[in-house]
Structure 1
Amino acid sequence: MQVAKRSGDLIDQKRRARTAANALRMQAHKTLGERSGLMLAQHELPINRKDGFGSVSGFYPYQAEINVLPLLARLVSEGWLTALPVVMAKGEPLTFRAWAPGEPTGRGIWDIHVPLETAPELQPDVLLVPMLAFDRRGYRLGYGGGFYDRTLAELRKLKPVVAIGVAYAEQEMDEVPIASYDEPLDWILTERGVIEPKR
């Protein structure tokens, strides 16, 4: 695993990678549109529910993110408890509140849909993680806020959790620039199917 050693180099590498990844995602979103969410929902999560996993956090699609709402709706029909993340403050881990497709939402930071404040908080067993890019090692390129890295680091101290990066297949890169604090994904899910990382 190659980790960028100088912070200035890493910042520049990630900035350039984000620019390229955003263009790829926009193109994929334009090409596939809402079909991608339905395609995504046809794939099974690589999770054995007999291991005690019963709750999953998704995300409300923002800008050109792939739409996981059809997948969440299917998971609810299968008995999963579903939730959405909420940004509480800069530099803090995410909070998760119970929510299912069709239930009302409010607006959070960056005008992203979030569950109402009255929705109960939970600690998900499975996290569907949005991203700008991914590689076959299981590393993701996020938006730069570090919210999911902090959240995964905290949750993994408390209990077994499974992080599944979700994106368009076209968002794959040969190698995502990473730092020592970047939390790896356990699986990747695209509209084409599940990818098991090779590290």
Structure 2
Amino acid sequence: MAVPSPSPTDPAPDMAKARLRRTLREVRKAHVAALSLTDRAAEESALARHLEPLIARASVIGAYCPVGSEIDPRLALGGRSVVHPSFGEGGDTFRFRAGPCTATGPAGIPEPEPDALELDPDLVLVPLLAIDPVGHRLGQGGGHYDRVLGRYRASGALLVGVGWACQRLDFPLPAEQWDVALDAFASPAGLERFE
């Protein structure tokens, strides 16, 4: 992918991440803007096919309600037990809750109602801006997934990044000590597992 990698002389990793986020948001938006409705549907159908083997083995799937130019994984989830991030009555840490995304959470993100049943998923589909060759992800910058992925990893959940093929980078992302590498990346191009 033609995204510039951070220079070793960058003043701070968080500044490098901020620049990357801006660039990668534009790359994702441009990719989606270039898709016809038919092409977007075909890419999301391909993503669903690649997710099918993981979905079939999962009891409870932690998914997300896509916003903006995020790829929509919901086609793969039909008829399964699905939970979504919910901040409930506030705070900066979410829990996965059952039910439709009829409430509005931080930054206008759809989420289940605050009193919906809380369940722990054994498969977590993680939105992202980018993912690198070893599974480090770059998120939106709020740290919401960073605060919970370790807990779900410790409980044995499979952590799978989900995005468009253009979001898979061929260079390492700056990683912090709290970053949890994902187990795999699913895109319309396929499913890639990380060691």
User: What are the ranges of 5 or more consecutive residues in structure 2 without an aligned counterpart?
Assistant: 1-7
In the comparison of the two structures, how many residue pairs are matched? 183
In the alignment, which of 38, 44, 52 is matched to residue 51 of structure 2? 44
1:176 aligns with 2:173: yes
Match of 2:157 among 158, 161, 180: 161
TM, length-normalised to structure 2: 0.83
TM-score w.r.t. structure 1 length? 0.81
- State whether residues 17 and 176 of structure 1, in contact with CA within 8 Å, keep that contact through their aligned partners in structure 2: no
In the alignment, is the contact (CA less than 8 A) between 1:46 and 1:194 conserved in 2? no
Q: Which ranges in structure 1 are unaligned for 5 or more consecutive residues?
A: none
Offset of residue 112 of structure 1: 1.4
Provide the C-alpha distance between the structure 2 equivalents of 1:149 and 1:30, rounded to a whole number of angstroms: 29
Give the equivalent residue in structure 2 for 1:195. 192
The equivalent residue for 2:4 is: none
Secondary structure of the 2:159 match is strand
Alignment partner, residue 3 of structure 2: none
Tell me what 1:20 maps to: 23
In structure 2, relative to structure 1, the CA distance for the partners of 1:160 and 1:14 (3 Å cut) is same
Partner of 1:63: 68
Aligned residue for 1:84, secondary structure, equals strand
Contact 1:134 1:140 in 2 (8 A): yes
Q: Identify the residue that residue 108 of structure 2 maps to in structure 1.
A: 111
Cα distance in 1, alignment partners of residues 53 and 183 from structure 2: 10
Q: Distance in 1 between matches of 2:44 and 2:87?
A: 24
Alignment of 1:3-14 (within 5 A): 9-14=12-17
Shift of 1:45: 4.5
Amino acid at match of 1:43: H
Cα distance in 1 between the residues matched to 2:68 and 2:55: 32
**Identity over aligned pairs, percent:** 29
Residue 195 of structure 1: SS of its match in structure 2?
strand
